[in-house]
Structure 1
Amino acid sequence: MTPADDLRFPEALAAALSLPFDYDDGDGVDFEPFPAFLSAEETTDWFRSWTGNAELTGDSFRVFGRDGTGGYAAFWLVRPDRPLVDQPVVFLGSEGETGVVARDLGAFLWLLAGGYGPWEAATSYEPDWTPRRNQELTAVAERFAAAHRQPASTVVEQATGEFPHFDDTVMELCR
């Protein structure tokens, strides 16, 4: 696993997050990538604030972006002894929304290519919203995760199926 003090993104994530995400007045993807992972201290501060639990650390998350309201996208470090790219990607929204949106980085790349951001994959607040495939992100997914190709809906279905208790796990930490 990538040490917590290394704030650089894995190459595949850096390639995807270097591309623009167009919110398009609510018709696009609401995602603002960070230039690097949040530090361990910033992640701990955020997670304590988000949960209201001052006893926690943010050691289980590597935060790499947010939506416009301040919800965070992160790797959830739940698979012991596995590299960062094999950890699930989660969304923790500013209003308490939670969701596992991809089983690993390869699946996350296909989620992005399918026109979804972490918020769109984790929530269903906009029933009329329609994803728009992104050719540049498709090229990134093909370059780094060709063997993982799948529709965005399958990415989310597999992730939520593998981690059905994520919301309960996180809510138990809240005060």
Structure 2
Amino acid sequence: MTTTTDDDRGFPPALAEVAATEFDHDEGNGIDFEPYAAFDSAEETTDWLRSWTGNPDLDGGAYRVFGQDGTGGLAALWCVRPGRPLVEQPVVFMGSEGACGVVAGGVSDFLWVLADGIGPMEAVEYDDLSGRADPVLASLAERYATTPRRPAREIVLGARADFPAYVQDIEALCR
């Protein structure tokens, strides 16, 4: 996997505001997401990736972990677009039970996914990508998004199409 050469861990303002937002899981009818106020350290990220894959040879440098679901599955920016800013890197999710996938093509589209009431775990683990729109998250997306608003389903399926081998590439790293 290609990574950026820059180890930028500066937290994007949009994700900082997401972190300041309360998420209501609503007993399974809301978004199961606990955003962080900063990226995990490079060491924590490497430890997580090695543990998740069972592969002690991996380096987590391609990921910037910024949140989790209630079971410990992690949402991260996947730094696969060399030379592009962090906010233009795809958002991925790696669940605690082994599910993984691409959620959005960048932070901007991720904000629209959240605005539609879909979190990173829901985007990867469920086929039904029709959430319950959240006006607070929609307002946040309107302030920060640089991409046009589209339904979460369109964004998620588009990101999967842009990175069709992501799941297979991650599975190939597992020991």
TM-score by length of 2: 0.92
Cα deviations across residues 108-161 of structure 1 (Å, max 9, x unaligned)? Answer: 000000000000011127x6x961111011011111115421111111011011
Residues 3/37 of structure 1: CA separation in 2 closer, same or farther (3 Å cut): farther
- How far 1:5 moved relative to its partner? 6.2
Q: What is the aligned counterpart of 1:107 among 96, 106, 109?
A: 109
Q: Which runs of 5+ in 1 are unaligned?
A: none
Tell me the amino acid that sits aligned with residue 132 of structure 2.
R
- Structure 2 distance, partners of 1:148, 1:154, is 12
Cα RMSD for the two superposed structures = 1.8
SS at match of 1:172: helix
- Structure 2 distance, partners of 1:65, 1:105, is 13
- Structure 1 segment 13-162 matched on structure 2, within 5 A: 13-124=15-126, 131-145=131-145, 147-162=147-162
- How far 1:16 moved relative to its partner? 2.0
Instruction: Compare 75-84 and 13-22 and name the one that shifted more.
Output: 13-22
Moved runs in structure 1, 4+ residues, more than 2 A? 1-6
SS at match of 1:108: helix
- How far 1:82 moved relative to its partner? 0.8
TM-score by length of 1: 0.92
Q: Which runs of 5+ in 2 are unaligned?
A: none
- Count of paired positions: 172
- Structure 2 distance, partners of 1:159, 1:84, is 16
Aligned counterpart, 2:7: 4
